Amino acid sequence: MNDEMDTPNLNEEAAAATPQGETTADAAEGAVDEGRGEGTQDAVPEPARPSTPGDETPIPTPGPNGKHDLDKPGYYLNRELTWLTFNFRVLNEAQDERTPLLERLKFIAIVSSNLDEFFMKRVGGLKQQVGAGMTELTVDGRSPQQQIRESVALVRDLEDSKRSTLDDIHRILRATGISIETYEEVSAEDRAWLHEHFVENIYPLITPQATDPAHPFPFISNLSLNLLVSLRHGDGSAAPLARVKVPVGSGIPRFIRIPGRQVFVPLESILAGNLDLLFPGMEVASVSMFRVTRNANTETAEEHADDLLSMIETELRERHFAPVVRLQVAAGIDPHHRGMLAAELGLDEATDVFEVEGMLGMSDLMEIVKIPEPGLHDAPHHPVDHPALVGDRSIFHVVRSEGSLLFHHPYQSFSTTVERFLMEASKDPKVRAIKMTLYRTSAETKAIDHLVTAARNGKQVAVCVELKARFDEAANIRWASRLERAGIHVTYGVVGLKTHCKIILVVRQDYDGLRLYAHVGTGNYHAATARLYSDLGLLTSDRTIGREAVELLNYLTTGFKPKRNYSKLLPAPKILKPALLAKIRREIALSAEGRIRIKTNALEDFEVTRELYRASQAGVRIELIVRDSCRIRPGIPGLSENISVISVVGRFLEHARVYSFGNGGAPEVYIGSADCMRRNLDSRVETLVAVEDPALRKEISSFLDRQIKDRRSVWDMQPDGSYIQRRPTKPKQQGCQEQMIDWAASRLKRVTRLKRRKPSGPSRRNVR
């Protein structure tokens, strides 16, 4: 980095708050202990800190020789249960009075959406295993049936807590003038307006369906809201049951707003209050809401597919008709109707049917969350520019002269970093080729437009699109088709492996020959999630990384597996896992001098978990920042007392992956797309990239320090798999995400000020 750049040493800021001779982790532990001791004599006792459920499986004890048998299942926590525990932490954001009111409602919606996906993906997959007669136990010693049983029990507790939390939030919302009311609860004047609105805008979209010998039980689409209506004829005789689908979607909102007020009425309530229009001359005996969740696991073996695109399109059609894995019904439903629904849908009434007090489909509360009430939302956040990219200087010139750049999203702008990189590449006459991977993107992301522009400008453009990105398959098919129409070479990755790595390669004719510019990130090339997810990205012209990016992208476009040499990229599935295990073993050889820090979304891989246990036994200090699922049990004497595990939950979704190894004073730091999960390490094309610039390594280290020391957003994992939330030591203490917002803004301001002060003059280097 040249002296035009003011590269802040974030480690210095962290060290300033850390007593001399004490590690950041030591300070964090001390802070936790300090928090526990605040309720001293004559002090007001500290309120109980929020916590989440743990795993009741007994922790094994050492054998007669004092050694822990790492093959015992009890040392490993379950993936599904620890993921559900993460959702208790997310729900706590809705329960936390420090969270703005409409943001609290947002977290209710997020948990609801997460649970829908959990049943579609995880429970659906477990049910398939049960149906196939699979009895193989997981590394934590559970059968598929046992995992379903324990997961369902935990879900019921989570749903109960979510429902009571929504009731509390709704009571507070009413005091602000925002409320959700039923059709019966609003005034007669409001009902008249709703009736007219229903007749004009909703009624033509509704198709009631009877169930009798001439009308078999209708198909129920995934996650749809439905009314089960019991009717009687005018003479009092029973009529067939009817199903009415609530027409939410395609421009029809779930919640209808009363004009002039912030009062919202659920569409299903309006529909239930106007059934006389659908069934004239009939008496409505009862109305019950129900909702189904279908299995999303409909994948076909790629090896047997002649056309991958056609296969994915077939899978999407099959998913529409996939088996139902969950039935949610409104509390108080007639037991006979409940049993009938379960039987028609092929479900076990005892385990697969969930009676719900209050609202079904709470993910739709996102409609209410969007109300423009600034005082009820987080303070607006506007990502700032990266300091090195302020001005109109070519991004290629900046990278070549300043060195590699590290991007922190959402604190630094995605549009003025990654999208700018693609935009300039698409128009720069010296750029010869652009190659990249695409896992998820969005309509507002400019990446597709820039690639099309590049192709029109005569550049070679190749894109590897992952068609099997769960729930984005249809969108990715559309993106792939648009790219192909523009003459772009589109491939779908390697047969049998998902392409999950995030990489862009630009080939440019510089003054000294062809130069390769690469971006390797932890997050998708997706403008919307880049504002909501915390991710890292490295933009570099390092020649070795460039050459290795060429090798990786050639592998993706051909599937050929000749010997490919990598040193600064660690791609999965062949190289990454063995490399991680080797680096952990290298720290084991250093014993108490060893240091490992890993930040990942999930730690599920058995081999990595076992090796981390062994490292802890050797005295290696291990700090893990794991967002959700985590198999490891920290703090077990003689096994994992050198391991700390924290989870950060806040305004943004933690999504970055960092792997840091002390290496005896010659630290190695990697960032990339891979989590410590078997699927990522064994069944996907992933990559990590080495961050070698000492200033950037310090930047990443300080980013981790902020999270480890956080008193606002951090939860400490206990040996039983439960989590306890930390408490601030002073009023209005910022969490690590708020600190990063301030850091990015102040860094930009400081560097911009220094650049303005610098006297103008001839360039120190002739950059062409």
Residue corresponding to tokens 């300033």: 16
Burial class (CB in 10 A: 0-12, 13-18, 19+), 679: middle
The C-alpha torsion from 491 through 492 and 495 to 496, rounded to 10°, is 160
CA end-to-end span of the chain: 18
Backbone angles phi, psi at 272, to 5 degrees: -65, -30
H or E element in which residue 708 lies: helix 694-709
If you search the block for the tokens 């139902």, which residue do you land on?
324
List Cα–Cα distances, 689 to 398, 544, 558, in angstroms: 20, 11, 22
C-beta of residue 165 within 8 angstroms of C-beta of residue 109: no
Q: Which residues of 202-224 are buried (b: 16+ CB within 10 A; e: fewer)?
A: beeebeebebeeeeeebebebbb
Token pair of 163, please? 């429902």
Contacts of 695 (CB under 8 A, 6+ apart): 1, 7, 9
Give the pair of three-digit tokens for residue 437: 């991977």
Q: What is the 3-state secondary structure (H, E, C) of 477-496?
A: HHHHHHHHHCCCEEECCCCC
d(CA 400, CA 511): 11
Distance CA 712, CA 731 (A): 10
CA separation for the pair 502, 524 (Å, rounded): 6
User: Among 68, 408, 409, 500, which one carries the catalytic annotation?
Assistant: 500
Cis preceding-peptide flag for 62 (omega within 30 of 0): no
CA distance 397 to 403: 10
- CA atoms of 161 and 726, how far apart (whole Å): 21
SS3 letters across 255-299: EEECCCCEEEEEHHHHHHCCHHHHCCCCEEEEEEEEEEEECCCCC
Phi and psi torsions of 656, nearest 5°: -75, 150
CA dist 194 and 266 (Å) reads 11
Is-catalytic flag, 170?
no
Give the residue from 649, 757, 633 showing the smallest Cα distance to 712: 649
Taken in order 442, 446, 450, 453, is the CA torsion positive or negative?
A: positive
> Between the CA of residue 193 and those of 19, 187, 287, 724, what are the distances in Å?
66, 10, 22, 49
Number of H helices, E strands in the chain: 23, 27
Question: Which residues are CB-neighbours of 762 under 8 A, at least 6 positions away?
Answer: none
Give CA–CA dist 135/118, Å, rounded: 21
Going 133 to 138 to 144 to 145, the CA torsion angle's sign is: positive
In the three-class reduction of DSSP (H, G, I as helix; E, B as strand; rest coil), residue 416 is classed as: coil
Tokens in use for 614?
């062994």
Question: Residue 198's Cα: distance from chain center in Å?
Answer: 37
d(CA 467, CA 11): 41
SS3 (DSSP) at 687: strand
**What is the rounded distance in angstroms from the CA atom of residue 106 to the CA atom of residue 94?**
8
Catalytic residues: 500
